[in-house]
Structure 1
């Protein structure tokens, strides 16, 4: 089991505010770590440095297949800002990411981590200076990040969402709309189901487009209906090149098939749909939206100007210029795989990492043998 060494010169992290986080079907509360909170339970960590966000989860195992988040961090860093035009990570974007990663390093260095996986995705995969940036991260933040390929990214996203797929489901198209790429997995559950949802992936693709790259090419602040249609057509052309897109076509009729979205786009749509005065993960994660509701939310966002999007509590200034690009990617996906329902997941890659780390370590098997319950 790979372990993350304690960052050189790490400082003890200040206690973070209490934050809600739900895994599986249970709501958990993330709290500042104290020895009596976790006892002898092993601690695991997952970090995801994406094109738009830097996110960290620290957790201990719960009942088999579940875990309890004890610390979390998320910051929008826009690492991929300008990347689609220059092919390189900008100095300002790298500076923002390094500062966020130093916070993560403090959190990791303040507790005994049993196993960790720290990953970087599309921005570092595609940038000419991606490797150079990661060397800087290791030097300045003391963290060694792993650039994962797109297939691994898709598998981990699926692994993180297993508990949101109900037992009577026969087919799912799971998608993760990122900042620089979008991963899509076709999942066939019509046969005997294994505990790991990722074992049922029959085909997958990664589109070289995400909310940041699409918004930079077409403009994200002032999006007309013509601009939105052009974005949808651009993504649709990429999907048309996915030769295995019909692998679960035979499962798509009726209520036993659905879409499952894990990204800021779908969680934002869900928050707007619910009319939340502030984003509430407990109400969003696992929410079902029907076709009419998704259509209505996209139409509503198209009718808002940039300032109206900024003013919405579930969008804000950080996402106001990206959300319609995300909606365009979602719309293209819905056209290829029409479904009566979309399930919203405020979880994904990091939760998938934690689930796989804990399963591979055998913590749930040992609990089962020992009859212990955390």
Structure 2
């Protein structure tokens, strides 16, 4: 592999090879493992606050995660004030992306099976395109800036199997660093169908920058600060383009929320009293509105240093976690629901599922292979 100036190897696209063609080690091209294992796929999400990577292998029930990476980079730090990506923020994001590239190379992921996207920070920043090009030239990663519509759809796809099939409507809330995507769905005979969506230009980074935590740590000062953040998000939600009939389903208790982001997983970790974050306990957890409110109250009482000491939050998120809680509180007040399902999944999972579905042979093609005496492809 060619080297960059900093010594990191660059991803380089290879000529497409058929799934049946073998690499030198006898494994299917790009699988990184012997036998008839299916090839590996990668999904990379560069957001306003985080850089996240998943590497997975298709399975009959979806996919099996082989490797993952997550780092807080705060790419959008100061963006709401300047309209540009800060040099230090770009450096942090670039370093994290270079590490992602190394993992992809080490695992043998074919660049043609990598879906790499960037969201709000790169959409909004004047120098976003220049940063995307810098990443491509230096690491070989080709980030695609997606619009809010696709971002919302991918988050929904990643969470579909967490929907309560008995619910008549669901609201998926994806709280990011620079924006919050909301998707309303109604149950139909063929499954849940979209009823509307919106992208509110408020995320945990933008909200925390607008409302710095007060030096006065008294309960009254903290309550006023928190409620100001809730009101900011509530104002954005008034533009929700949804049929009033959907709101009535929520008011009648026939709908529920799905929260997908660190905003809700942090509340879940606090609610469960985890000494360390455990995805298997958090992902899919049902919380009540009262559970969320109680977790937010505990976070307020802890103060900045106490939040930083919490293993489910840490120093990198201590100043952002209450902004996330305020966003969730505003949504829960606007769309009353006693239940919210916690999703430690979303956009990356949606990317993987979409691409694996595209690559899966059609039923007709599988029947032809069986009829010809060949083995069906692994799924």
TM-score (norm 2): 0.85
User: How far apart in 1 are the matches of 2:2 and 2:197?
Assistant: 36
Deviation at 1:169, TM superposition (A): 2.0
Worse-matched range after superposition: 107-116 or 265-274: 107-116
Conserved? CA contact 2:46–2:52, under 8 Å: yes
Bigger RCO (CA 8 Å, 6+ sep): 1
Any residues of structure 2 matched to 1:141-220 within 5 Å, and which? Answer: 141-189=139-187, 191-194=188-191, 200-220=193-213
Deviation at 1:256, TM superposition (A): 3.9
Residues 60 and 336 of structure 1: is their aligned pair in 2 closer, same or farther, counting only changes over 3 Å? same
Q: Which runs of 5+ in 1 are unaligned?
A: 1-5, 14-32
Match of 1:76 in 2: 72
1:59 maps to 2:52: no
Q: Which runs of 5+ in 2 are unaligned?
A: 12-30, 216-220
Any residues of structure 2 matched to 1:1-374 within 5 Å, and which? Answer: 11=9, 34-36=32-34, 39-64=36-61, 66-110=62-106, 111-113=108-110, 114-189=112-187, 191-194=188-191, 200-220=193-213, 224-244=222-242, 246=244, 248-363=246-361, 365=363
Residues 373 and 294 of structure 1: is their aligned pair in 2 closer, same or farther, counting only changes over 3 Å? same
Q: What root-mean-square deviation, in Å, do the aligned CA atoms of Structure 1 and Structure 2 show?
A: 2.3
Q: Deviations over 1:211-247 (max 9, x none)?
A: 0011011114757211111111111111112242635
User: How far apart in 2 are the matches of 1:364 and 1:343?
Assistant: 33
Worse-matched range after superposition: 243-252 or 297-306: 243-252
Conserved? CA contact 1:310–1:320, under 8 Å: yes
User: How far apart in 1 are the matches of 2:283 and 2:196?
Assistant: 25
Deviation at 1:176, TM superposition (A): 0.4
User: SS in structure 2 opposite 1:318?
Assistant: coil
Conserved? CA contact 1:61–1:364, under 8 Å: no
Deviation at 1:149, TM superposition (A): 0.2
Worse-matched range after superposition: 100-109 or 143-152: 100-109
User: How far apart in 2 are the matches of 1:88 and 1:254?
Assistant: 44
Residues 363 and 265 of structure 1: is their aligned pair in 2 closer, same or farther, counting only changes over 3 Å? farther
**Rg larger for:** 2
Conserved? CA contact 2:260–2:345, under 8 Å: yes
User: SS in structure 1 opposite 2:115?
Assistant: strand
Worse-matched range after superposition: 334-343 or 38-47: 38-47
Match of 1:28 in 2: none
Q: Deviations over 1:153-177 (max 9, x none)?
A: 0000000001101322211011000
Conserved? CA contact 1:220–1:325, under 8 Å: no
User: SS in structure 2 opposite 1:35?
Assistant: coil
User: How far apart in 1 are the matches of 2:138 and 2:354?
Assistant: 28
TM-score (norm 1): 0.86
User: How far apart in 2 are the matches of 1:101 and 1:81?
Assistant: 17
User: SS in structure 2 opposite 1:330?
Assistant: helix
Residues 227 and 274 of structure 1: is their aligned pair in 2 closer, same or farther, counting only changes over 3 Å? same
Worse-matched range after superposition: 290-299 or 141-150: 290-299
Deviation at 1:280, TM superposition (A): 0.3
